[in-house]
Amino acid sequence: MTRRRLLVAVAAGSALAACERMAVGSGFLESLGRWNARVDRFLFGPARLAGELPPAATTPGNAFPSYFISDDMPFPPAGWTLKVGGLVARPTTFSLDQLQQMTRIDMRVRHHCVEGWSAVASWHGVRLREIAEAVGADPHAGYVEFRSFDSGYWSSWDRESALHKQTLLAYGMDGENLMPDHGAPVRVYSAVKLGYKMVKYLTEVNFLAEPSGGYWEDQGYEWFGGV
């Protein structure tokens, strides 16, 4: 048995034991969901790094699928800004220019979709951890919510994944400014999450004490969404 399979078996056994102690009723699924999130954090620890790839691995832009929930492709409103608030000392509204003046990070990694396909692209932007420091995010805010102008699409993450070294507020892809089909002007991009967790067309970031679900998560998709 491999180490990973052993960990999965141990986690599954612990989950069953925990389930026996849970009261059957309306709170059962919520309790099970919280337990699953803890198991996910154990198996897909947000401290690990995804391997970066060489330029030759890049998927051609027109072969990298894009997705949005609006009837038509969303375009950024005039005077777009990003609001960062919630449990922070200094709620702040950032312009695209202000984000671009912060430390730029570039990474070329593999993107994983829950539907089973993957693709490789280079992304550039600012680490969310730098934004968190700028606004004075409360250390007790254990979750981060991302909201979009794509018909209200949203997702919430655990703080550790959101502030991961490879989680960006990305404003560029493959050396160019982000295009509308991939979430312009700014989207969340992380090497440690599945695609549906990475909110495009970003308009708000909120630091929270509790998770707020998500567009797909509230329809049954796994909340943690790690890779």
pLDDT for res 51: 77
- The count of structural domains within the chain is 2
DSSP string, 145-163: EEEESSTT-EEEEEHHHHT
What pLDDT is attached to residue 56? 87
On whether the CB atoms of residues 143 and 211 are closer than 8 A, the answer is yes
- pLDDT given at position 115: 92
- pTM attached to this predicted model: 0.81
For residue 121, the model assigns a pLDDT of: 95
Q: How far apart are CA 49 and CA 221, in angstroms?
A: 24
The answer to whether residues 15 and 114 belong to one domain is no
CATH code, domain carrying 81: 3.90.420.10
| 168 and 60 co-located in one domain | yes
Domain-located, residue 101: yes
Within-domain flag for 156 = yes
**23, pLDDT greater than 90:** no
Residues 68 and 144 in one domain: yes
Regarding whether 33 and 54 lie in a shared domain, the answer is no
Contacts of 199 (CB under 8 A, 6+ apart): 146, 147, 148, 153, 154, 155, 183, 187, 188
- Is there a single domain that holds both residue 36 and residue 127? no
At 79-127, the pLDDT tens digits run 999 999 999 999 999 999 999 999 999 999 999 999 999 999 999 999 9
Query: Are 110 and 176 within one domain?
Result: yes
Least confident piece of the model among 3-7, 41-45, 166-170, 173-177: 3-7
pLDDT at 38: 62
Q: What is the pLDDT of residue 40?
A: 58
Same domain for 114 and 24:
no
Share of the chain above pLDDT 90, in %: 71
What is the C-alpha separation between 119 and 137, in angstroms, rounded? 33
pLDDT at 24 over 70: no
Residues 66 and 163 in one domain: yes
- What is the pLDDT confidence band of residue 167, given thresholds at 50, 70 and 90? very high
Do 59 and 128 belong to one domain? yes
> What pLDDT shows up at residue 15?
42
- For the stretch 25-55, pLDDT in tens is 545 555 555 665 665 555 556 667 887 888 8
| Tokens 């198996």 -> residue | 43
Residue 227 domain-assigned (yes or no): no
- Residue 108 and residue 4 share a domain: no
Which one is predicted more confidently, 17 or 162? 162
What was the pLDDT predicted at 19? 38
Same domain for 152 and 214, yes or no, is yes
Q: Which domain holds residue 96?
A: 50-219
Residues 6 and 97 reside in one and the same domain = no
Q: Which of 9, 206, 178, 156 is nearest to 96 (CA)?
A: 178
What mean pLDDT, rounded, does the chain reach? Answer: 86
